[in-house]
Chains A and B, each alone.
Chain A
Amino acid sequence: MYEIIEKKELTKDIKFIAVKAPHIVYNARAGNFVVIIVDEKGERIPLTIYDWEKEKGIVYIVFMEVGVSTKKLGQLNEGDFLYAIAGPFGNAFHIQNYGNVVMIGGGVGTPAIFPIARELKNAGNKVTSIIGYRSKELVILENEMKSVSDEVFIATNDGSYGEKGLVTDILQKLIDKKEKIDLVVAIGPVVMMKAVSELTKKYNIKTIVSLNAMMVDATGMCGVCRVTVGGQTKFSCVDGPDFDGHLVDFNELMVRLSAYKDKEEESLHYCRLNKKIKEV
């Protein structure tokens, strides 16, 4: 059992938690993720490691409530315990001095780019970050991103904060400035990663995306997380989660992510009925 020692609400649906889990942070690195099981009857869900403190044995996670597991997780408070937290999983992001990097985070992709941006900055890169949200109330981690970037641009779909438009609009402007971009890292909804990859492909800018395929064990044992990259089947938990955005079959990923839509609704309905999740 692993204690939640701090919890913050970043927006109505997006929460930040600190979990006491020394085994997770012993070797944690930017780009790793954990698997959480909220309670004894829970499923295994993957969440990115947002930050960690090795000495204190604490891992920080930012997540959005979208379905039963994340809603149950969001209901836990300081002093409550997680049934399980396993990891760190996935390959760490390859940190080196690429030169000029653009980090793109969409929604809860931002907590995933944060530690990578920090490490890349420490490695001597010039870091420009673009973070996109639907509207002002959903903007998270603005100051944190500023602390690890040379420059931060914010896009909102409705223009209520930052620039009106999508992250790709800002990226296009940066490209048009003719400043050389050595690497783009994009993490967020699949449609966003797809749009970024399509754009950068035109300009031949190397682009890395982090795929949020469905997962069960995250140890390479089940294969549910398979994605097609460059025509080959890869397991995103052990071969990824980072892949070359120009080679990923995003359409297939989107289709696969919808596999359990009806079951997710059935599960939500059941949990509401049995008061396992309260809703406001």
Chain B
Amino acid sequence: MAEENISKAKKQRIKMQEQKPEERIKNFFEVPLGYTEEEAINEAKRCLQCKEPKCIQGCPVNINIKEFIYKISKKDFKGAIDTIKKDNSLPAVCGRVCPQEEQCEAACIMQKTKNPINIGSLERFAADYEAKTGKVEIPVIGKKLDKVGNPIRVAIIGSGPSGLTCAGDLAKIGYETVIYEALHLPGGVLIYGIPEFRLPKNIVKREVEYLKKLGVKFEFNSVIGKTYTIDDLFNMGFKAVFIGVGAGTPIFLGIPGENLKGVYSANEFLTRLNAMKAFLFPEYDTPVKVGEKVAVIGAGNVAMDAARWARRLKGVKEVHIIYRRSEAEMPARIEEIKRAKEEGIIFNLLTNPVEIIGNEQGWVKAIKCIKMELGEPDSSGRRKPIPMPGSEFIIDVDTVIPALGTKANKLLTSDVKNLKLNKWGYIEVDENYMTSIPGVFAGGDITTGSATVIAAMGAGRRAAKAIDEYIKKL
């Protein structure tokens, strides 16, 4: 047994095949192509089936990773997806966009050999297998009724991963759930933020179709706080409300020239492309305008997404990332940074923009930057970047995309009296995800600030349980 394990551990982790960089920058299709059955089985066979599987604790929703991998190794793909779905309602999404290297794969025992099991890819394989082959089974659900026989209704605000998960779980328990979504499309960041080439939109569509079959209703074009207030929702007969509105509002740099034409927040740039399909303009009506040279400010996942989208647009010759710290501090996933580099994106590190310079017509023509050096570690533990006097220089660009993160959107929260917020404007919740208003629950980015899909999903799931408990006690 021990020898077998050693030989397993020596085997190299199987990487998914990918589109070649020179090919993929000419299209909008997914970059990693997925495992073949054989690859999946071989990768699954590398798993040591640990007695105390550490991987499970590394997953924020504690998927039974050991079990689903075992099933894949035995070619029981249907069994594998059933195991995953007990804990994760969006496996095709999470298998693709989870930062596995910080979560399940970081905890895998094989991490010691720098050769952890490729859990994310296996999860994706199982989910895609179901989509390709299987009928998705719709459970038969007994409706929850109140004393006079009417369905008990719960309202969900926002259709991002937290809202979708919460709605799905409540529907499975038997509640009548209605999702109110401000936009005309469901999915939140999954639809308007994360690019097609990382998360094909038909995957999100599929998940939404499944929820509809479970009986979840969608009311689009409805902005809670404007269309209806939370009080209105209770007056309409909803017994509880879940707020999953995301973090939302873009942060700008606060330097001169930021309102020039050609400066987009990453949110605007990505929304035009992903949700409004500006890459298909003029067949679609929404345009996006980029010149030959694009600069993206920041080095998080959102910055990589914006830069890689820009790389794929017609006419773009050069894409720059401008980041004030060094490579080691870049917050984006290593995998995404690697892909960005392969695609020819130029990294300007230890560089901070100080001014965006415009031409006579008010269009961006260049960005003035200053060189930085790293000083002592700051409160976040990262070494603080300090400008080097006299080191200013200019990069010629015609599009600038600040991707500096988001802050709390006040659209909903400012309209709700007695809703307790923390000092950053995010909603405060107790251990049961209930806000300061009884019956009003919240989860996802609007409670934590920008986080991850799986964290938002986990919050939606736990909130659904708490909502069920709350309603039972009414």
Contact = CB atoms under 8 A, between A and B. Distances in A.
B272 A238 contact: no
A220 B223 CA distance: 12
A219 B285 contact: no
A197 B95 CA distance: 56
Contact of A220 (B184, B219, B282, B410): B410
B261 A259 contact: yes
Interface in A102-134: none
Interface in B407-438: 409-411
A259 B289 contact: yes
A158 B227 CA distance: 42
A86 B183 CA distance: 8
Interface string A19-51: 000011011000010010100011110000000
B187 to A, nearest CB: 14
Contacts of A35: 221
A128 B284 CA distance: 43
B221 A216 contact: no
Binding site of B, secondary structure by majority: helix, strand, loop or mixed?
loop
B448 interface: no
A217 B182 contact: yes
Contacts of B276: 43-44, 216
B362 A223 contact: no
Contacts of A270: 282-283
A238 B415 CA distance: 12
A84 interface: yes
B289 A27 contact: no
A105 B455 CA distance: 50
B285 A217 contact: no
Contacts of B227: 23-24, 26-27, 86-88
Contact of B228 (A26, A86, A89): A26
A246 interface: no
A37 B221 CA distance: 10
Contact of B411 (A223, A226, A238): A238
Contacts of B362: 252, 255-256, 258
B226 A27 contact: yes
Interface stretch (A4-12, A199-207, A260-268): A260-268
Given A44-B276, A221-B250, A223-B265, A216 B271 contact: yes
Nearest to B409: A220
B259 A221 contact: no
Nearest to B270: A222
Contact of B221 (A23, A220, A226, A238): A23
A260 B276 CA distance: 16
B202 to A, nearest CB: 15
Given A41-B283, A233-B258, A220 B411 contact: yes
Given A255-B261, A256-B259, A84 B285 contact: no
B252 interface: yes
B282 A271 contact: yes
Interface string B262-289: 1011011001100011001111111101
A58 B362 CA distance: 41
Contacts of A42: 284-285
Interface in B181-239: 182-184, 219-223, 226-229, 232
A220 B411 CA distance: 7
B259 A220 contact: no
Interface in B317-371: 361-362
The 3 closest A-B pairs by CB, nearest first: A86-B221, A263-B287, A270-B282
5 contacts: A216-B271, A220-B410, A220-B411, A221-B250, A223-B267
Interface of A: 23-24, 26-27, 32, 35, 37, 41-44, 68-69, 83-89, 216-217, 219-224, 226, 228, 233, 235, 238, 252, 255-256, 258-260, 263-264, 266-267, 269-271
